[in-house]
Amino acid sequence: MLTGKNILLGICGGIAAYKTPHLVRLLKKSGANVQVVATKSALKFVSELSLATVSRAPVLGDMFSEDSPGEGDRTLHITLGEWADAFVIAPATANTIARLSAGLCDDMLSVCFITLRPEKPVLVVPAMDGYMYESPSVRRNLSVLATQGCSILEPESGDLASGQCGLGRMPEPETIVETLADMLEPAPESLLKGKKVLITAGPTREKIDDVRFLSNYSSGKMGFAIAAAAARRGAIVRLVTGPVSLNTPAGVERIDVESAMEMMEASRRFFDDCDLFIGAAAVADYRPEQPVEGKLKKSGAAMDIRLVRNPDILAEFSAGRKQGQISVGFALETAGGIGYAREKLENKKLDLVAFNVYDRSTSGFEVDTNVLTLLDRAGNVSELPLLSKDAAAGRLLDAIEPLLYR
Ligand code: PMT
């Protein structure tokens, strides 16, 4: 699977490090050349001799030690960044994740992270106690790494070294090798090439009066990332967007709108002419029935504003679509709620729905990352890891492409 690939394996000081000689053996068995870079504390959990023996190369760690292997080549930290086809950091501890997200480079592992060529993939495999993993600082730091383009392989649930049972276990080395092999597989020619794709993005604004509106926190980042990814794959992309402050992705035709009614009108113009419709916008379900001209004046202690339903753009597309057109929606909840996503798949007659949770730090509105679960009509459920919105957009399109040629 990894024949001839040069893999840099970063090992940090966590109990899961005891699994890394096996990980090295699997990588070697898959045909990879492996260079281990270990933090000081990693070598308290796993022996340098074991790692050097299975990798058939000296273990690198301290940049300045006189007797450190590689001594004599003072630019090894730079050349390794060139040599590596991918960098896997497993287990990645809270401490190393924090150091990497802050851009520190005070040992071989962190320097190699910085010198790795930007187009080379990085797979971060966090493993730690469940409470540490769920802590806001670890979540924030992982989200920074995901935004930088790192893929995060989420830990598994099970018995932890603390004696507790929960999320935090490092996935088995077999899973890590498979994930890495997927990441290094060359992308096939895209099935989206030449297809017409219509995407909605961003929030809508529903006027209360001439100076106020009802809206939501959507930034448009998810929809714009999908538009950019589809255009890169050769699709002809139209992007109908609510008010956002984002640049138009290269090769994308952008139509700016404000309200749900305007978004509906603009989308309708292109319904018949598209092969694929993706509703990533957070469209207001209701609008004030009678927006006031000018500025609404203060009156009593309370005020009633009567709201009326907005049309459902995605549902209308699905209901009237011609044969072969594909309809994809998003479902956003504030907690749990995958059942609602299934309902949307059914009720809006979608081919696929991307479920995401708004957690204010890593997924949903505004942030640069997202955690999507993809559900299709055949009953397939695919839980994607925490990814940058760009990477999540790519994975979403990967799931959509086969649907275009059913
Ligand atoms: O823009 P970002 O800050 O990057 O955030 C991304 C996002 C959270 C907005 C995006 O990932 C997302 O989940 N978009 C859909 C949010 C939403 O409003 O979900 P919903 O469950 O209310 O709607 C379900 C689906 O129907 C969506 O595809 C929506 O676009 C569509 N819809 C809803 C109402 C309506 N009147 N017309 C629609 O087309």
Q: Which of 147, 257, 314, 316 to mutate to test the pocket of ligand 1 (most atoms within 8 A of CB)?
A: 314
* CA of 364 relative to ligand 1 center, distance in Å: 10
Its pTM stands at 0.74
Measured distance CA(386)–CA(388) in Å, rounded: 7
Q: Mapped to the 3 state alphabet, what secondary structure does 150-175 carry?
A: CEECCCEEEECCCCCEEEEECCCHHH
Predicted pLDDT of residue 299:
87
Whether 134 shows a pLDDT value over 60: the answer reads yes
CA separation for the pair 223, 280 (Å, rounded): 5
Residues listed for the chain: 406
Under 8 Å between Cβ of 191 and 404: yes
Q: Is 66's pLDDT higher than 70?
A: no
Fold agreement (6-66+76-184, 196-290+306-405)? yes
Query: What is the percentage of the chain residues whose pLDDT exceeds 90?
Result: 79
Ligand 1 neighbourhood includes 281 CB (under 6 angstroms): yes
391 CA → ligand 1 middle, Å: 19
For the chain, the structural domain boundaries read 6-66+76-184, 196-290+306-405
pLDDT value for 67: 53
Q: Going by C-beta distance under 8 Å and a sequence separation of 6 or more, which residues neighbour residue 49?
A: none
Q: How far is Cα 112 from Cα 103, in angstroms, rounded to an integer? A: 11
- What does the radius of gyration of the chain's CA atoms come to, in whole angstroms? 24
State mean pLDDT over 338-365: 94
Residue 366: CB within 6 Å of ligand 1? yes
Cβ of 310 less than 6 Å from ligand 1: yes
pLDDT for 65 equals 63
pLDDT reading at 18 higher than 80: yes
Average pLDDT, the chain: 93
**CATH classification of 196-290+306-405 is 3.40.50.10300, yes or no?**
yes
Q: How many Å lie between the centroid of ligand 1 and the Cα of residue 382?
A: 19
Which helix or strand (DSSP H or E) is residue 134 part of? Answer: helix 130-134
CATH number listed for the domain at residues 6-66+76-184: 3.40.50.1950
pLDDT of residue 167: 84
pLDDT at residue 72, rounded to an integer: 56
- What average pLDDT does this structure show over 187-205? 93
Q: Quick one: which atom of ligand 1 is closest to the CA of 281?
A: 30
Which has the closest alpha carbon to 168: 132, 139, 143? 132
Rounded to whole angstroms, the Cα distance separating 293 from 217 reads: 25
In this structure, the residue with its CA closest to atom 33 of ligand 1 is 283
Q: What's the rounded Cα separation, in Å, for the pair 131 and 156? A: 13
Give the pLDDT mean for 288-314: 95
Using the mean position of ligand 1's atoms as its centre, give its distance from the Cα of residue 335 in Å. 15
State what percent of residues in the chain have pLDDT above 70: 97
Q: What are φ and ψ of residue 298, in 5° steps?
A: -60, 140
The answer, yes or no, to whether any atom of ligand 1 lies below 6 A from the CB of 206, is no
Judge whether residue 125 has pLDDT over 80: yes
Mutate to test the pocket of ligand 1, among 245, 283, 310 (most ligand atoms within 8 A of CB): 283
Residue scoring higher pLDDT (336 or 197): 197
- Atom of ligand 1 at shortest range from CA of 315: 39
The protein residue whose alpha carbon is closest to atom 27 in ligand 1 is 330
Q: What is the pLDDT of residue 74?
A: 64
Atom of ligand 1 nearest to the CA of 389: 4
The pLDDT of residue 124: 95
Asked whether the beta carbons of 44 and 13 are under 8 A apart, the reply is yes
What is the Å distance from ligand 1's center to 293 Cα?
29
Residues near 227 by beta carbon (within 8 Å), at least 6 away in sequence: 197, 199, 201, 237, 239, 249, 252
Task: Tell me if 221 CB under 6 Å of ligand 1.
Answer: yes
Distances 327 to 30, 149, 274 between C-alpha atoms, Å: 39, 28, 10
Residues taking part in catalysis: 216
pLDDT confidence bin for 237, thresholds 50/70/90:
very high
Q: How confident is the model at residue 343 (pLDDT cuts 50, 70, 90)?
A: very high
Whether ligand 1 lies within 6 angstroms of the CB of 332 is answered as: yes
Residue pair 206/214 in contact by the 8 Å Cβ criterion: yes
Give residue 30's pLDDT: 96
Q: What confidence tier does 333 reach under pLDDT thresholds 50, 70, 90?
A: very high
Q: CB neighbours of 390 closer than 8 A, spacing ≥ 6?
A: 149, 225, 228, 229
pLDDT band (50, 70, 90) for residue 270:
very high
Q: In the structure, what pLDDT confidence band is assigned to residue 52 with cuts at 50, 70 and 90?
A: very high
Tokens 């990441």, residue located: 183
Type of residue at 321: R
CA distances from 370 to 295, 327, 354 (A): 38, 21, 11
